[in-house]
Amino acid sequence: MDPFSLQLPSGGTVTGLRTPAFPAVLPKDTPLIVGIHGGGYSSAYYHTTPTNSAAPYSTFLRVPFLSIDRPAYKGSTAIKTPLPEDSTYLQEEGKHLHHEILPAIWAAYSKEYGVSSIVVMAHSLSVPMTVVTAALHAESASKAPSVKPPAPSTHMTAEQVEDFQNQPKEAQQQTVDEEQQNTQKLESTRQHQPYPLAGIVLSGLGTSLRHDTMQSMQPFLTHQGDRMTFPAELKDNVMLCGRFSGLVEPEVFEMTEKLNTDVGIAELVDSGDEFWQVWCKRYTDSVKCPVLYNLASEEKLWTATEETVAAFAGLFTRSVRVDSGIVLGAPHSMELSRAGRGWYARVFGWAVECGVAHGLGKF
C-alpha cells in the first residue's frame, strides 16, 4: 500500500495507506473499503506483513482498500478540544469521521478508483466512532426527499417480465419512464449526501469487559497526561494472546514495536461503561445500513460468547441486514492472526454484496 495525506475541509489532515487504483474498469457497484484501526495502532494495522494485510484480498477481488490514521495518530490532526459538554471523545471522533474524513476521501479517490460506495471496516476503539458515523449518515439520508428505489427491467423476475410483456405498449412505456425517473431521483438524492455508505464491519469491541484483563491494565490507565503507550509485552499478551498461543505467526511479534503507538486516555475511558451505559443506544437505533459484527473466540478484552455477540448485534434494530458471529482461533487483534486471512476474505466478500445491494437501491 502507498501512503497518502489529505487536507480536510476544516484545515486539518488525515493520513494513511491505500492500495493503488486498478488499471482496468472495476465491476459495477464495487465499494471502497475504509479500514480504521483501534487504540495503540495506526493505518499500518491493515498492512503488517504480506500475509496479514488487506492488500492481497483487494487485488484478488479488485476492491480498493484505504486505511486511515485516526485523529491524533501519526499525521492525522486531532479533534477539536475542549469537547462539548453534552458529548464524549469517541462521539466527536464519529462526527469528525462523518463530516470531514469520509467526505474528503470520497471526493479525492472515488473517481480515481471507480467505486460506487464506501464500506467501513472498524476494529476495537474505532467501533464506537463508526457507529456514530453510520447513525449520522442515516439521519442525513432521512432528511432527503423519499424516493422509491428503481426496479430496472433487467432485474425483473421471470413472472414480472411476463406481466410486463402482457401490458399494452402505452403501459409498458409508462413503466419504463417511471423507472428512469426514479433512478434519476435516487441518484440526485445520493449526490446530496457527502458520501454513499453501503455497510459497516465491526470487530474487537463487545458488551462485557473482561475484568481480569482490565485489572492487569489498570496501572497504565492511571497514567498522568492525555496519551500513553502500552508496553510491548503487555500488548502482545492482551492483543495477540502471547508468543506461545499458536494463534499468530512469529514474524508478527517482530512488528510489535513498529506497530505500537500511543493511545489517548479519553478514548480508553469512553469505550467502556461510558459507551454502553450512556450513549450507545442513541446511535445504534438510527443505523440503517448493513452491519457485519464479529468477536474473536480468544478475546482477552471482552467476553466472547454467543449471548454477548447476539446482544451486540441486537442493538441494530433498524439495519436492513445484520450478520454476526465468532471468529474461531483468533485473538483480539484478529487481522494480525493466522485466522485473519479468513476474516479478511469474509469482509471483502460481504462488502461486495453490500456494494451491489446499495447500487440496486435495496437500502
Please tell me whether residue 95 adopts helix, strand or coil conformation: helix
- Cα dihedral across residues 133, 139, 141, 147: positive or negative: positive
Q: Do the strands 322-327 and 291-296 form a parallel or antiparallel pair, or are they unpaired?
A: parallel
Q: Is 62 left (phi over 0), alpha (psi -120 to 50) or beta?
A: left
Whether residue 168 is preceded by a cis peptide bond, meaning omega within 30 degrees of 0, is no
99-113, 142-156, 296-310: lowest mean pLDDT where?
142-156
With 0.75 as the threshold, say if the pTM is over it: yes
Cell of 182: 426514479
SS3 content of the chain, % helix, strand, coil (to 5): 45, 15, 40
For residue 152, pLDDT beyond 50:
no
The pLDDT tens digits for 57-67 are 999 999 999 99
For residue 156, pLDDT beyond 90:
no
What percentage of the chain has pLDDT greater than the value 90?
71
Pick from 38, 13, 47: nearest CA to 340: 47
Axis crossing angle, helix 169-191 with helix 158-165, rounded to the nearest 10: 130
For residue 154, pLDDT beyond 60:
no
Residue 328 — pLDDT band, cuts 50, 70, 90?
A: very high
The pLDDT tens digits for 9-62 are 999 999 999 999 999 999 999 999 999 999 999 999 999 999 999 999 999 999
Q: Are 54 and 48 in contact (CB under 8 A)?
A: no
Burial class (CB in 10 A: 0-12, 13-18, 19+), 209: middle
The pLDDT tens digits for 223-244 are 667 888 889 999 999 999 999 9
